[in-house]
């Protein structure tokens, strides 16, 4: 049997009386780019945070490289998750550090690389997301929202993670910059052989970066298939969502 | 009957909550302690916390000690005059300052200044997911954020209190000599001959414990902060209130240990 890079089996999560994840099943192959779509507040961010262990699942299994991280010891878990990078929906930049220190944080503090060696890498990553060296010494609060998002993206990919999570990478960017970011995500997967799990509402972005697509609705994955099948999924929830129609089975 | 059952149920739930919080706090303290002692260390972060906690608290702690020493001299004079014991002022001042007032007052002032700012800073990082981001970048937030603060607080408070001891005694001296017309040399000699090592040492040990409590509660309340601006606000309040109460309780217990 082939082991998946990331696998979720019947994962549940509630916050108080709010049952957010109601049995999520998901498999991602190594080197694959999966995009999760779904309505606002359906638990997309919660799903990827449970994979990273930032939110503890109530029940179910989460396997990375075949190992169940919900049962792993603290050290094992740190190691498994050490190979993960994440772009947070809200950016989550360290506001007490400059832009380049943010991007280099995983290198200088996590891997103990010297600042001298980390600086050029940080600048290179900033350039990859369309930002110039001029802003390297600025603080995140001095940047626009879209620029913060891109700095955050640069930080997520700077230490070459094995598995990368992108939570709405293109939200708040202009269409051209969004395309640059989409290409960058594509390239990260292709060239570095990374596995990517992204969340987006932007259908252009889905078509550009996805190998496969999963749709979450009411705390479950209701459809999961290759991107080629997205248009003819035969699933009326998916149809309604990708065409952005008000009429259909999904009610708000 | 139903009424009584209801009350029992509520009490039981409260009790469970209490034990849950205590358990979590103890676990938090042990983890912090472990990360203070074991590598990796972040010397630069420890240094900046030492400066933040120590140097920037000097003014407020110094002023508190100065006026406490002054008022102590004044009050003991008027009080002791009733049974002709005015000559004991120097003894009263140095004893109260070193054993109790300097550590407790410095502890409470620093709890307000440092405990609050640590809680606000860490709670903000929690709310904006910076702590989550840190752990995805292979940096353990306990080692990076909490250990340096707890270590710096535990080291720095004894220094602050030692300085407060000196300033507090000096405050008493000022009032005794310039207001109450005591002989300066005799006052200093009396102070010096009366004070014992254990008086000062016990105060410094208390200070170290208070420093640990202040920074630990600041970190704990920030780390488990609720969501949003309100979460940050109540984390700050809780940090200061819980640290202050714990300081007063542990002060009594430590005094009991040292002097009985
Ligand atoms: N830490 C938390 N505590 C309580 N409730 C939470 C928490 N995190 C998420 N939720 C709830 O879980 C639900 C799903 O949240 P989630 O952030 O996963 O939505 P989402 O699918 O990412 O939506 P969006 O597209 O708007 O980002 C929401 O109803 C939210 O209120
Ligand atoms: Mg989200």
Q: By percentage, how much of chain B surpasses pLDDT 90?
A: 79
Q: Which ligand is nearest to the CA of A215?
A: 1
Tell which of B34, B138, B148, B224 to mutate to test the A interface (max A CBs under 10 Å): B138
- Residue A117 confidence class, pLDDT cut points 50, 70, 90: very high
Give the mutation target among A21, A22, A42, A91 for probing the ligand 1 site: most ligand atoms within 8 A of CB: A42
Q: By percentage, how much of chain B surpasses pLDDT 70?
A: 100
Task: Reply yes or no on whether the pLDDT at A252 is more than 80.
Answer: no
- Which residue of chain B comes nearest to A107, CA vs CA? B137
Q: By percentage, how much of chain A surpasses pLDDT 90?
A: 56
| Contact residues of ligand 1, CB 6 A cut-off | A 15, 20, 38, 40-46, 89
Its pTM stands at: 0.90
pLDDT at B165: 96
What are the domain boundaries of chain B? Answer: 42-259
Task: Reply yes or no on whether the pLDDT at A80 is more than 90.
Answer: no
Q: CA of A80 to nearest chain B CA: how many angstroms apart?
A: 10
Distance, in Å, from the CA atom of B215 to the CA atom of B59, rounded to the nearest integer, reads 19
Cβ within 8 Å, pair B132-A49 = yes
Alpha-carbon Rg for chain B, nearest whole angstrom, is 22
Q: CA of A228 to nearest chain B CA: how many angstroms apart?
A: 32
Dump strand ranges (E) for chain A. 6-15, 18-28, 33-37, 59-64, 67-68, 84-87, 163-167, 195-199, 212-217, 220-226
Q: If DSSP codes are grouped into helix, strand and coil, which group holds residue B242?
A: helix
Q: How far is CA B222 from CA A54, A97, A206, B123, in A?
A: 17, 19, 38, 4
Give residue-wise pLDDT tens across range A192-247: 889 999 999 888 899 999 999 999 999 999 999 999 998 888 888 888 888 888 87
Distance, in Å, from the CA atom of B85 to the CA atom of B221, rounded to the nearest integer, reads 48
Contacts of B42 in chain A (CB under 8 A): 109
pLDDT at B260: 81
Task: Reply yes or no on whether the pLDDT at B73 is more than 70.
Answer: yes
pLDDT at A137: 95
Q: Which of A240-249, B18-27, B165-174 has the lowest mean pLDDT?
A: A240-249
A196 strand-pairing partners: A33, A164
Give residue-wise pLDDT tens across range A129-169: 889 999 999 999 999 888 999 999 999 999 888 999 999 99
Distance, in Å, from the CA atom of A148 to the CA atom of A91, rounded to the nearest integer, reads 7
Tell which of A83, A92, A157 to mutate to test the B interface (max B CBs under 10 Å): A92
Cβ within 8 Å, pair A92-B130 = yes
Could you tell me which of B85, B100, B95, B68 has the C-alpha nearest to residue B175?
B68
- Phi, then psi, of B37 in degrees rounded to 5: -80, -35
Distance, in Å, from the CA atom of A156 to the CA atom of A159, rounded to the nearest integer, reads 7
Task: Reply yes or no on whether the pLDDT at A1 is more than 60.
Answer: no
Give residue-wise pLDDT tens across range A4-22: 899 999 999 999 899 999 9
What average pLDDT does this structure show over B15-20?
Answer: 90
Q: Does A193 touch chain B (CB under 8 A)?
A: no
- Residue A100 confidence class, pLDDT cut points 50, 70, 90: very high
Average model confidence (pLDDT) for chain A? 90
Distance, in Å, from the CA atom of A125 to the CA atom of A84, rounded to the nearest integer, reads 17
Tell which of A75, A86, A102, A160 to mutate to test the B interface (max B CBs under 10 Å): A86
* Number of residues assigned to chain A: 252
Higher-scoring residue by pLDDT: A69, B115: B115
Q: Which ligand is nearest to the CA of A18?
A: 1
Q: CA of B198 to nearest chain A CA: how many angstroms apart?
A: 42
Q: If DSSP codes are grouped into helix, strand and coil, which group holds residue A85?
A: strand
> Between A and B, how many CB-CB pairs are < 8 A?
55
Give residue-wise pLDDT tens across range B95-105: 999 999 999 99
ipTM: 0.90
In sequence order, which residues have a C-beta less than 8 Å from that of residue B14 and are 6 or more positions away?
none
Give residue-wise pLDDT tens across range B120-160: 999 999 999 999 999 899 899 999 999 999 999 999 999 99
Task: Reply yes or no on whether the pLDDT at A74 is more than 90.
Answer: no
């Amino acid at each position: 049997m082939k082991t998946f890079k990331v696998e979720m089996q019947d994962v549940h999560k509630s916050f108080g009386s709010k049952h957010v994840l109601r049995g999520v099943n998901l498999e991602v192959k190594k080197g694959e780019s999966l995009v999760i779509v779904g309505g606002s507040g359906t638990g997309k961010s919660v799903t990827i945070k449970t994979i990273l262990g930032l939110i503890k699942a109530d029940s179910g299994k989460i396997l990375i490289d075949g190992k169940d991280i919900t049962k792993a010891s603290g050290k094992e878990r740190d190691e498994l998750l050490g190979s993960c990078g994440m772009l947070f929906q809200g950016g989550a930049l360290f506001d007490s550090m400059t832009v380049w220190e943010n991007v280099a944080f995983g290198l200088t503090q996590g891997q103990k690389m010297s600042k001298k060696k980390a600086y050029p890498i940080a600048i290179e990553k900033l350039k990859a997301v369309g930002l110039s060296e001029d802003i390297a010494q600025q603080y995140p609060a001095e940047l626009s929202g879209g620029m913060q998002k891109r700095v955050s993206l640069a930080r997520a990919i700077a230490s070459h993670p094995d598995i990368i999570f992108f939570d709405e990478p293109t939200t708040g960017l202009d269409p051209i910059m969004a395309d640059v970011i989409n290409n960058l995500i594509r390239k990260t997967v292709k060239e570095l052989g990374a596995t990517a799990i992204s969340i987006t509402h932007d259908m252009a972005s889905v078509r550009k970066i996805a190998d496969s697509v999963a749709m979450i609705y009411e705390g479950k994955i209701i459809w999961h298939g290759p991107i080629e099948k997205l248009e003819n999924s035969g699933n009326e929830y998916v149809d309604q969502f990708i065409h952005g129609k008000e009429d259909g089975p999904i009610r708000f | 009957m139903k009424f009584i059952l209801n009350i029992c149920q509520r009490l039981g739930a409260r009790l469970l909550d209490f034990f849950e919080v205590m358990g979590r706090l103890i676990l938090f303290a042990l983890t912090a302690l472990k990360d203070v002692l074991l590598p990796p260390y972040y010397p630069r972060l420890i240094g900046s916390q030492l400066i933040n906690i120590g140097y920037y608290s000097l003014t407020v702690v110094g002023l508190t000690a100065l006026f406490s020493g002054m008022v102590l001299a004044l009050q003991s004079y008027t009080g002791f005059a009733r049974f002709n014991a005015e000559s004991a002022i120097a003894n009263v001042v140095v004893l109260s300052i070193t054993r109790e007032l300097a550590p407790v007052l410095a502890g409470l002032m620093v709890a307000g200044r440092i405990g609050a700012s640590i809680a606000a800073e860490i709670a903000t990082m929690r709310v904006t997911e910076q702590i989550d981001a840190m752990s995805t970048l292979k940096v353990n937030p306990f080692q990076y954020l909490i250990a340096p603060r707890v270590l710096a607080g535990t080291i720095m408070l004894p220094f602050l209190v030692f300085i407060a001891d000196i300033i507090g005694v000096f405050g008493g001296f000022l009032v005794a000599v310039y207001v109450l017309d005591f002989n300066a040399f005799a006052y200093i000699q009396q102070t010096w001959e009366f004070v014992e090592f254990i008086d000062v040492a016990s105060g410094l040990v208390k200070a170290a414990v208070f420093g640990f409590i202040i920074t630990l509660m600041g970190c704990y309340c920030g780390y488990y902060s609720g969501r949003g601006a309100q979460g940050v606000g109540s984390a700050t309040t809780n940090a200061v209130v819980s640290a202050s109460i714990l300081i007063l309780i542990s002060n009594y217990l430590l005094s009991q240990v040292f002097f009985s």
